[in-house]
Structure 1
Amino acid sequence: MTRNFLFDQIQKKQSFLCVGLDTDINKIPSHLLDTEDPIFEFNKQIIDATHDLAVAYKPNIAFYEALGSKGWESLEKTMDYIPKDIFTISDAKRGDIGNTSSLYARAFFENMNFDSVTVAPYMGSDSVKPFLAFEDKWVILLGVTSNEGGKDFQFLECEGKPLYQHVLSKSKEWGSADNMMYVVGATRPEYLTDIRKTIPDHFLLVPGVGAQGGDLQEVCKYGMNSQCGLLINSTRGIIYASSGKDFAERAREEAMKLQLEMKAELERCKVKS
């Protein structure tokens, strides 16, 4: 998917919502366990309830890998079911030596037909560039994460600035704003001003709004650019809004709340083509 097409969808839906499909067999409503494929049935109903409000879906691959071949089958069926005009993110956090990264890229871009994959930058350019060799596909590089352990390395002072700034500055040389995004946690919005000085035009994938306590307005205030430049991910607050038979309806209600807030932010920031 191209940057312009993604921005068109943001304008059309007045939304920059990404719904995380971290589908846990132990958390989905119990009545689904009697279906042939509970994971896919859950995802299907979530997608049916939210596809007009979301511009992206982000399955976390671990939830599918953990179930073996059945989990991969559920993921493949989910990918086939997601409308083709919606951006798809493989939240796989891959990153290895070059030939291995090439195979990871083939797995997610060719075999699974994801639009993007999250990648860890620790091993440097030769672990990231193989993902950038695919036309109209995206790398989403881990930049500033919202987990507590992110402080262990990302904020270490190195040559006068935190390590994450070195990651941003160096990695932006490998691709462009048309094929690279960055993960920036919503629970750290105070860093967005400096981040935007380094990568003003790139899209940011921002997890942590909702159940993790991130504030949408704060993220938009400091992180939005002229083409929006944000994909705000919400997972638990949407897909697990209810554990009953009304789970899809409740998911839609929560997604709609966020979409309406996003519409207001787009209008406030005067985002337009």
Structure 2
Amino acid sequence: MNQQELFGQIQKKRSFLCVGLDTDIQKIPQHLMDTSDPVFSFNKEIIDATAEFTVAYKPNLAFYESLGSRGIISLEKTVSYLKSKYPNIFLIADAKRGDIGNTSSLYARAFFDKQDFDAVTVAPYMGEDSVKPFMTYLDKWVILLALTSNKGAYDFQFIEDKESGEKLFETVLKKSQEWGTDENMMYVVGATKAEKLKEIREIVPNHFLLVPGVGAQGGSLQEVAKNGMNAKCGLLVNSSRGIIYASNDVDYAEKARAAAKEIQQEMEVLLKEGGLL
């Protein structure tokens, strides 16, 4: 899926919502524990309930890897289901990989060849040769961690160069543009850092930004749109817990649908205000 196709889906669904499939076996409704694959059963119902309002899904690999081989099977079934029933929905592996070149090549193969994700999140700390192997897949995307929403972001990401005053996350944004383009590279920017989005847009005006942290983490959708939206929207705003755990009872899918629809309706207003609909 290229940038124009992604923007087309945003216009069609009047939404730039990404639903995080952070499926915790300890939090899913108890009645699903009687199924042969509780995690996949949960994901399938969440997907069917929210797909109308969603342009992307983002499974966080930790929730699946923590279950060992059966978790990987659940993930593979989830990916296969999405690709077969909802082929126009953008699929992100939230894996935060980053290693030396030959290892990164194998990570890229795992997510793009074996599991058919559209994008994978990558940590840029080890530099160009840890990122470029993911970019050999011409129809896929790399989503680089730039400015994250967690408290620990201040440990490193805001360190300033003594001569230029440039912060580390700004260096990541600038240097990485030598590696890819706005057609194969996005950036993670946390919604809790929404005030920085204007500065980020000065550096990367045309790239898509994956924005976690809206909802349970306290980020403001309105502030994100105000400071980060560009001429092709340029935003995928993620919500995980606020949607998939809207209920832990038998009505969990119904409540997830309602939560996704509420966000989509807010996004429709913001897209109209931005002249994109």
**Would the TM-score normalized by the shorter structure come out above 0.5?**
yes
2:52 alignment partner, SS class = coil
What is the aligned partner in structure 2 of residue 262 from structure 1? Answer: 267
CA shift, 1:200, in A, is 0.2
Distance 2:269 2:188 in 1: 23
CA offsets 1:17-52 (integer angstroms, 9 cap, x no match): 000000000000000000000000000000010011
Task: Provide runs of 4+ in structure 1 moved above 2 Å.
Answer: none
**1:13 corresponds to which residue?**
13
- The residue type paired with residue 206 of structure 2 is D
In 2, Cα distance between the equivalents of 1:257 and 1:208?
Answer: 17
The whole-number CA distance in structure 1 between the counterparts of 2:217 and 2:250 is 25
Structure 1 position 87 matched with structure 2 position 90 = yes
Q: Secondary structure at the match of 1:31?
A: helix
Q: Deviations over 1:121-159 (max 9, x none)?
A: 000000000001101100000000010011000001113
Residue 136 of structure 2: aligned partner: 133
Residue 247 of structure 1 corresponds to 252
Q: Return the TM-score normalized by structure 1.
A: 0.99
Task: Kindly state the Cα deviation for residue 160 of structure 1 after the two structures are TM-superposed.
Answer: 1.0
Find 1:160's aligned residue among 157, 165, 170.
Answer: 165
Give the aligned partner of residue 70 of structure 1: 70
Equivalent of residue 210 in structure 2, options 201, 205, 216:
205
Q: Does 1:169 align with 2:174?
A: yes
Task: Establish whether residue 226 from structure 1 lines up as the match of residue 231 from structure 2.
Answer: yes
Which amino acid in 1 is paired with 2:257?
R
Q: Give, in angstroms, the shift of residue 230 of structure 1.
A: 0.0
Gap runs ≥5 in structure 2: none
The answer to whether structure 1 residue 117 and structure 2 residue 120 are counterparts is yes
Letter in 2 for 1:63: F
Structure 1 residue 179, shift from structure 2 partner: 0.4
> CA–CA distance in 1 between the matches of 2:179 and 2:70?
36
SS of the residue corresponding to residue 103 of structure 1 reads helix
One-letter amino acid of the counterpart of residue 35, structure 2: T
Please name the residue that 2:106 is paired with: 103
Question: Partner amino acid for 1:89?
Answer: I
The aligned residue for residue 53 of structure 1 is 53
Tell me the secondary structure at the aligned position of residue 188 of structure 1.
helix
Aligned amino acid, residue 268 of structure 1 = E
Q: What corresponds to 2:26 in structure 1?
A: 26
TM-score by length of 2: 0.97
**In structure 2, what residue type is equivalent to 1:143?**
A
Deviation at 1:184, TM superposition (A): 0.2
Counterpart CA distance in 2 for 1:7 and 1:163 is 30
Instruction: Name the SS of the counterpart of 1:161 in structure 2.
Output: coil
Give the drift of 1:3: 1.1
Q: Deviations over 1:184-243 (max 9, x none)?
A: 000011100110000000000000001111000000000000000000000000000000
- For residues 130 and 137 of structure 2, the distance between their equivalents in structure 1, rounded to whole angstroms, comes to 14
* Alignment deviations for residues 48-72 of structure 1 (CA, whole Å, 9 cap, x no partner): 1001100000000011111111011
Q: CA–CA distance in 2 between the matches of 1:192 and 1:131?
A: 26
Secondary structure, counterpart of 2:88 in structure 1: coil
SS in 1 for 2:192: coil
